[in-house]
Structure formats: structure tokens, C-alpha cells
Amino acid sequence: MAGTGALRVVPLTLGWVELPITVSLHADTTGRRLREPVPAVLVQTGQGWVLLDTGFNPALFADAPLHRRFHGRDPDIRSTLPGPGDPLLEALTRAGVSLGDIVAVGISHLHYDHAGGIRHFAGTGVPVHLQRTELDYGLSGHPGPEANGMFRIDYDDVAIDWRLADGGAAIAPGVSAVSSAGHTPGHQSFVVDIAEEAGGGGYVFAFDAADLTENIDNDLPVGGFIGCAAEDTVTSIRRLKSLAAQKGYRLVPGHDPVAWPALTAELSARWH
């Protein structure tokens, strides 16, 4: 019988986005630019591996007209792949995990740096967990979602086995989703409970509900939001902080260029 907690957590970096800090920190006046990691998380459970977020779609980089339409629309934001191949497949190989080992996928939201690898699971029978509100918005009238960074080509496929939630939902033993709307209409974050035999404890992965440590430490709104005011995104940050404090878990920001590589190194050492 599968256990009730996760056995191992492996953070993945599936690329980088260079951008003004105002994309992550609303109304910041410092003029700073950041090179932010593109995050995903592998979680080993008693049922198999769960993948949280999927990174970029490299086809939208390789084809010049597609790149111009999608990634070239804002010259102030520059996305970079980590290698010559598909970033998700290459990261899985480095982690010693194959696509066939993945038994469930959780998607925080449908932005291009999180949803670009969903296509790998279309027609495979692997369930893809998302908030219903997020998919409704992502499939709504053009050009709104695309103008807001959701590329329909990444997720509009009838062969995807969507598992749509209306709030909190269990994904696999030790992995659950919690609603954290604001950055997008149906954004969700993830709680990972580590099994006692694997050391116990756990993590709350905010993803883009809180890009940076500054968002969390100072209750500062994120720079990107859809269908709400900037200040409304702080409601989700505070809810995640409260949940993490209740459980005694660390709240992990989604794109922090210092915190993410540090966590990657820490968990690599924890589970060798």
C-alpha cells in the first residue's frame, strides 16, 4: 500500500527569464533587472513520480515566426533555454526519471514558462491537475489570455486528461494543491508533506503566487496579476504564509534567483 507522504523532492530549473523586477514586485522603483529561474518540482511518492509545472515549449523558440509572435513580443523580457534540447526531457534525464515514471502532473497556472511541457502528457492517460477557473480563462476569447502570457498552443489539446479542481485538491500521497488566485484567475500552489520515513517535514511551493522572497517576507504584491488589483495578490501570499506556519513548513517562492538554487542544492544534499 502506498504511503501517505512524499519520499523525495527534486527541484528542477527549466530555463531562465531576464526581466525588470517590476514583473515580480509591483511598483518597485529601483530599476533592477533579475535573471529568474524557471521552476518545476519532481516529487517521488509511493505511487510514482509527480511533476509540478513543466517549463517552456522549445518549439516556440526554434521556429522564427513563432518566436517572434510569442517570446519576441516584449523586448524587455528575454527567455533562455538551459540547453539545446527539450528542457523538461533533459532535466528528467539528469534526475534519472523518465516520462513513463510520472503518474500525475500539477500545473500552477497556464503561463508559457509553466505550461509549455503539458504537451508531453497529451494522450498518455497521465492526469493533469489544474484549477477549473484557470482553464476556463486560458480557453476564453482571444487575444486576452495570449496577451497575458498564456499560449493556447501549449494546452489546447482534447487528448489532455484534465483533472479540474474548484479549490484545494489532493493530487497524490503527500502532494496537494491549494488555490492562490491573483497572479492568474486560477493560480494554484502546492503543499508537499514528506513521509516520516523520509525525514518528515514539508514544503509549500508558492510558484507565482509569490515570485520572490521579498514578496513573502514583506507582504508585497507580485507584479503580474489578472482580474484583480495588485493588493489582492497579497491575500494569497498571506494565506500561504499562514498555511506554512501552521504546518511548520517552508514557503518557497517561485522565481527567486537566490532561494531557488539554494533549495536545489539543499535538497540534493538531503537525498543525495
Q: How far apart are CA 102 and CA 124, in angstroms?
A: 10
Would you say residue 100 lies in a domain?
A: yes
User: Where is pLDDT greater, at 2 or 72?
Assistant: 72
Mean pLDDT of 168-191: 98
For the chain, what is the domain count? 1
pLDDT > 70? residue 267:
yes
Contact 252, 40 (CB under 8 A): no
Instruction: Return the closest-CA partner of residue 12 out of 45, 48, 53, 44.
Output: 53
Would you say residue 23 lies in a domain?
A: yes
Q: How far apart are CA 134 and CA 138, in angstroms?
A: 6
Would you say residue 3 lies in a domain?
A: no
Would you say residue 2 lies in a domain?
A: no
HEC profile of the chain = CCCCCECEEEEEEEEEEEEEHHHCCCCCCCCCEEEEEEEEEEEEECCEEEEECCCCCCHHHHCHHHHHHCCCCCCCCEEECCCCCCHHHHHHHHHCCCHHHEEEEECCCCCHHHHCCHHHHCCCCCEEEEEHHHHHHHCCCCCHHHHCCCCHHHCCCCCCEEEEECCCEEEECCEEEEECCCCCCCCEEEEEEECHHHCCCEEEEEECCCCCHHHHHCCCCCCCCCCCCHHHHHHHHHHHHHHHHHHCCEEEECCCCCHHHHHHHHHHHHCC
Would you say residue 217 lies in a domain?
A: yes
Question: Residue 272: what pLDDT?
Answer: 76
* Residues with Cβ within 8 Å of residue 47, at least 6 apart in sequence: 2, 103, 104, 172, 173
The length of the chain, given as a count of residues: 272
Contact 130, 53 (CB under 8 A): no
pLDDT in tens, 79-107: 999 999 999 999 999 999 999 999 999 99
- Tell me which amino acid residue 169 is: A
pLDDT > 70? residue 143:
yes
- Tell me which amino acid residue 233 is: T
Would you say residue 77 lies in a domain?
A: yes
Question: Residue 2: what pLDDT?
Answer: 54
Tell the residue number behind the cell numbers 497575458, with chain if given. Answer: 148
Question: Residue 142: what pLDDT?
Answer: 85
Question: Residue 178: what pLDDT?
Answer: 98
Would you say residue 1 lies in a domain?
A: no
> 135 — phi, psi (to 5°)?
-65, -40
Q: Given pLDDT bands bounded at 50, 70 and 90, which one contains residue 1?
A: very low
Q: Grid coordinates representing 66?
A: 513563432
- Tell me which amino acid residue 35 is: R
Q: Which structural domain range is residue 69 located in?
A: 8-270
pLDDT in tens, 8-65: 999 999 999 999 999 999 999 999 999 999 999 999 999 999 999 999 999 999 999 9
Would you say residue 242 lies in a domain?
A: yes
Contact 42, 49 (CB under 8 A): yes
Question: Residue 79: what pLDDT?
Answer: 97
Question: Residue 49: what pLDDT?
Answer: 98
In this structure, what CATH number is given to the domain that contains residue 229? Answer: 3.60.15.10
pLDDT in tens, 218-262: 999 999 999 999 999 999 999 999 999 999 999 999 999 999 999
Q: How far apart are CA 255 and CA 258, in angstroms?
A: 9
